[in-house]
């Protein structure tokens, strides 16, 4: 844990400086997690702030300081889920744009190395984002937490509050759905 | 083929992790956070006050209606307690039937009665 239990207790009691310390300790980690969960750097800070606002207003519901981290993860997952649902409503699938982006990538090979790297990263994010659009937000978040964030099944159990076997089944099914979308993308020559 | 796709997908997940940049919090992260907390707090406070007022008004109305229920029967003492009781107490209809039956009797069949009038 990044902070002392006593600090969490103080924040629960309404101590604003203690809450500030918790935010300082966790904000970078939460920003990183959200960045990988939603894949849109421009909106990461906004979602992170929403997580900490929810934390502030629900600290009194925390059972004990021991479960603080899984609980904070749960708040992060919920806020990311809400964001993704809103974003899904706003935009259409960008799968069709991928080929065009790759053409642009090939054209820019003459550019600087750093610029190329950045574009490749951006392309990877776009591609994963497009793949994730073919599965539900729940699948996306679960797979990202497991495969990208590297959370163990034990940790996921605490975040989701379900047993390991149920999680394994959900993970397997989510992975199958992403694989299906991946194969379709490969067959259509988008990778 | 399936195993191959699986491992490719794993590679893609790793590439995605590397492609997602570590986002540094902006300089105004904390002030903005507290601003958002304050906004929600003021909205929550307003909602709470409104809810409390509504609850108090509702409770007062309930008490008033209960009191009214107790007071009304005591004020209307002496009147029949219910419609059914009023009907049972009223015998005018039965009297009417008797009267009508007597009047409908033809005068020829009852000469004694005619003589009396």
The whole-angstrom distance between B44's CA and the closest CA on chain A is 10
Which residues, other chains included, contact A152 with Cβ-Cβ below 8 Å and sequence gap of 6+? none
The helix (H) or strand (E) run that includes residue A5 is helix A5-12
Percent of chain B past pLDDT 70, that is, above it, reads 64
User: Looking at the predicted structure, is the pLDDT value of residue B115 above 60?
Assistant: no
pLDDT of residue A176: 93
Q: What is the ipTM of this complex?
A: 0.77
Task: Read off the pLDDT of residues B59-108 as tens digits, 9 standing for 90 and up.
Answer: 999 999 998 888 766 555 555 567 777 767 776 656 665 555 555 556 55
When pLDDT is cut at 50, 70 and 90, the band that residue B109 belongs to is: low
Whole-number pLDDT of residue B73: 61
Question: Which residues of chain A, if any, have pLDDT below 70?
Answer: 91-111, 190-191
Instruction: Give the residue among A117, A144, A127 at the shortest CA–CA distance from A191.
Output: A127
- Contact call for B33 and A23, based on CB within 8 A: yes
Q: Which domains are delineated in chain A?
A: 1-92 (1.10.1740.10), 94-191 (1.10.10)
**pTM to 2 decimal places:** 0.67
Distinct helix (H) and strand (E) counts, chain A: 9, 0
The shortest C-alpha distance from B56 to chain A (Å) reads: 25
The pLDDT of residue B104: 58
What is the reported pLDDT for B106? 61
Question: For residue B52, what pLDDT band results from cuts at 50, 70 and 90?
Answer: confident
Q: Give the one of B15, B26, B30 whose C-beta lies nearest to A23's C-beta.
A: B30
Strands (E), chain A: none
Does the beta-carbon distance from A36 to B25 stay under 8 Å?
Answer: no
Contacts of B13 in chain A (CB under 8 A): 128, 143, 147-148
């Amino acid at each position: 844990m990044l902070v002392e239990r006593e600090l969490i207790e103080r924040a629960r009691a309404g101590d604003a400086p203690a809450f500030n310390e918790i935010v300082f300790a966790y904000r970078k980690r939460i920003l990183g997690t959200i960045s990988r969960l939603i894949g849109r750097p421009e909106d990461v800070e906004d979602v992170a702030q929403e997580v900490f606002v929810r934390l502030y207003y629900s600290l009194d519901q925390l059972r004990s300081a021991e479960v603080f981290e899984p609980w904070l993860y749960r708040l992060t997952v919920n806020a990311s889920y809400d964001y993704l649902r809103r974003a899904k409503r706003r935009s259409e699938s960008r799968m069709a744009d991928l080929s065009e982006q790759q053409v642009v990538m090939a054209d820019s090979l003459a550019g600087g190395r750093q610029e190329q790297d950045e574009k490749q990263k951006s392309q990877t994010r776009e591609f994963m984002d497009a793949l994730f659009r073919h599965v539900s937000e729940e699948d996306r978040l679960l797979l990202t937490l497991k495969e990208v964030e590297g959370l163990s099944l034990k940790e996921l159990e605490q975040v989701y509050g379900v047993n390991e076997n149920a999680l394994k089944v959900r993970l397997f099914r989510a992975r199958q759905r992403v694989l299906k979308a991946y194969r379709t993308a490969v067959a259509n020559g988008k990778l | 083929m399936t195993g191959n796709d699986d491992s490719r997908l794993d590679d893609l997940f790793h590439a995605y992790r590397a492609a997602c940049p570590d986002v540094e919090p902006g300089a105004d992260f904390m002030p903005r956070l507290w601003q958002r907390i304050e906004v929600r707090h003021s909205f929550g406070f307003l909602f709470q006050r409104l809810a409390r007022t509504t609850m108090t008004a509702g409770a007062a109305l309930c008490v008033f209606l209960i009191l009214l229920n107790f007071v009304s029967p005591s004020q209307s003492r002496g009147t029949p307690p219910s419609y059914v009781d009023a009907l049972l107490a009223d015998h005018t209809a039965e009297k009417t039937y008797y009267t009508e039956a007597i009047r409908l009797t033809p005068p020829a069949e009852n000469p004694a009665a005619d003589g009396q009038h």
